[in-house]
Structures are given as structure tokens and as C-alpha cells.
């Protein structure tokens, strides 16, 4: 299957242009060495006061019972495609600082930074990742005894993109759809919110 390359307006690293989030996964397993490196990458993400508020629960198809338990924490729509990924991960964020027990307003931001590190490491290794917000937090909290002050927030499917030709047409079509993004002029402002930054040029240069 060809990689769904982005069409950036300005040069970016090839690894970033090639990254995408498949719905169709092959049954090829991810090695333990690669998984350890993905988790090592997220360990070194930046965080407010170096709190590292992220915690992760992982399950692989090597242990079907544990895999099904984590899969059951996803909403039904996500279970339909994520069940084919060889690795599932539940991301949990600690919402208060350990240093003083005050609310950590950067906690979810920092969880995102950790996920970004994992994404980058996975992309560098030719591994595909699909993150999802559609989880069942209460079920996850119950099944994994997640303590108060920590919140199950997202899930991650890790593996290798599969062949859409042999997949459920609903998901195959999503994987065939070209990647798109808003133009920079809708995202990067200066002077006043909504005013495109001058450094972006006129849009024609």
C-alpha cells in the first residue's frame, strides 16, 4: 500500500509528510524492541515542571484476554476497526501536580506532547499509529483501578497499515481519502486574532 503523503505548502521533514492514521491494520505484530523504543520516546517528552503526568496501559494480541479487556474500553465505533491493530494503548493523565497537589492546567497538553514523541518515533520506524478520543472512561477506570486524580483520556492503536482491498469498505474508503489541512493563514495570526501573520506572505509567494 502506498503511503498517503501530505502535500505541504512549505518544506517539512519527510517523516512528518508521510505520517497518517490508518483505519485498516495488517496482522503483522510490532516487536517488543520497537514498542520499548516508542515508549522510551514518549518518556522524554517535555512537561510542565517535569511532572510527566502521562501514564499508559498497554495490551498486545500476544495476550488475547488482556487485549479484549482494553478493547472493551473503546466506544463501539472504534472497536470495529481498532480490533485489528496488534497493539492497543490507553492513555491516562494525572490531573494534579505531585509536587503540591494543585490542579495541573498543562496536564492534557503534556500528554499530547508525549503522544507526539511516540508518533515521531513510530513514523521514523515505519510503524503506523492511530489515536482516538472515543473511549469509555468509566469502564477503563473500573477495569484498571485507575485512582482518583488520574483520568483515562485517549487510546492509541499501533501497528502497520493493511490493504484496503481486503478490508471493510467503510474503513477502506477512509484510508483512500487524501489528507487535507487548513491553510496556514487560518491558523497563524499576528496583531489580532484572526489576522494572518505577515510572515506568511500574501498566499501567492
Q: Residues 89, 128: contact at Cβ < 8 Å?
A: no
CATH of 14-162, one of 3.40.50.2300, 3.40.109.10, 3.40.718.10, 3.30.360.10: 3.40.109.10
pLDDT tens-digit profile, the chain (205 residues): 346 889 899 999 999 999 999 999 999 999 999 999 999 999 999 999 999 999 999 999 999 999 999 999 999 999 999 999 999 999 999 999 999 999 999 999 999 999 999 999 999 999 999 999 999 999 999 999 999 999 999 999 999 999 887 778 888 888 888 889 999 999 999 999 999 999 998 754 4
pLDDT in tens, 149-199: 999 999 999 999 998 877 788 888 888 888 899 999 999 999 999 999 999
Domain ranges of the chain: 14-162
Q: Which three cell numbers stand for residue 102?
A: 494543585
Which has the closest alpha carbon to 183: 174, 193, 168, 196?
196
pLDDT in tens, 149-160: 999 999 999 999
Instruction: Catalogue the E-assigned strands of the chain.
Output: 54-60, 87-94, 128-132, 150-159, 189-190, 192-196
Amino acid at each position: 500500500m502506498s503511503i498517503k503523503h501530505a502535500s505541504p505548502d512549505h518544506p517539512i521533514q519527510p517523516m512528518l509528510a508521510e505520517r497518517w492514521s490508518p483505519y485498516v491494520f495488517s496482522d503483522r505484530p510490532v516487536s517488543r524492541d520497537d514498542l520499548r523504543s516508542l515508549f522510551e520516546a514518549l518518556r522524554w517528552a517535555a512537561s510542565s515542571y517535569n511532572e510527566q503526568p502521562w501514564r499508559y496501559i498497554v495490551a498486545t494480541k500476544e495476550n488475547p484476554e488482556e487485549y479484549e479487556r482494553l478493547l472493551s474500553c473503546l466506544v463501539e465505533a472504534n472497536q470495529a476497526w481498532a480490533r485489528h491493530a496488534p497493539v492497543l494503548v490507553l492513555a491516562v493523565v494525572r490531573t494534579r501536580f505531585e509536587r503540591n497537589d494543585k490542579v495541573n492546567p498543562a496536564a492534557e497538553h503534556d500528554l499530547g506532547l508525549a503522544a507526539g514523541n511516540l508518533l515521531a518515533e513510530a513514523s521514523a520506524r515505519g510503524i503506523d499509529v492511530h489515536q482516538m478520543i472515543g473511549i469509555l472512561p468509566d469502564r477503563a477506570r473500573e477495569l484498571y483501578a485507575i485512582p482518583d486524580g488520574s483520568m483515562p483520556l485517549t487510546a492509541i492503536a499501533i501497528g502497520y497499515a493493511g490493504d484496503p482491498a481486503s478490508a471493510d469498505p467503510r474503513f477502506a474508503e477512509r484510508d483512500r481519502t487524501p489528507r487535507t489541512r487548513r491553510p496556514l493563514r487560518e491558523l497563524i495570526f499576528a496583531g489580532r486574532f484572526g489576522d494572518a501573520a505577515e510572515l506568511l506572505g500574501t498566499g501567492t509567494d
